[in-house]
Amino acid sequence: MAKRGGFPGGMPGNMNNLMKQAQRMQRQMEETTKELEAKEYTAAAGGGAVSVTVSGKKEVTAVKISPEAVDPDDVEMLEDLIMAATNEAFRQLEEANNNAMSKLTGGMGGLGGGFPF
């Protein structure tokens, strides 16, 4: 008769190895997440007229605007430059996050490669 847990004789060795690998991957993901959150990403628009820096925590930390970009008759252009620089900085952040996580998961695409979780 099988013991509690459904495995005769306890957990097989492969299951133990799988659990250890999962725990190691979890620690690596936590460390990588901390490293990514500590980084900053800067992007510019309008030939450098506007630059925006965002943190790995997805917060805008700096906006720099060249005096030449400030035209009281064309505020919309300045708004567009700020938006473009901000979006590019966030795109860089997302790309860095995706690259770092895919290195950890080995391209599994999620937590189990083919598993629905």
Edge-to-edge strand order for the sheet containing 60-65? 40-45, 50-55, 60-65
pLDDT value of position 41: 94
Q: What is the pTM of this model?
A: 0.66
Mean pLDDT value across the chain: 83
Residue range 20-77, pLDDT digits in tens:
888 988 898 898 889 888 999 999 999 999 999 999 999 999 999 999 889 999 999 9
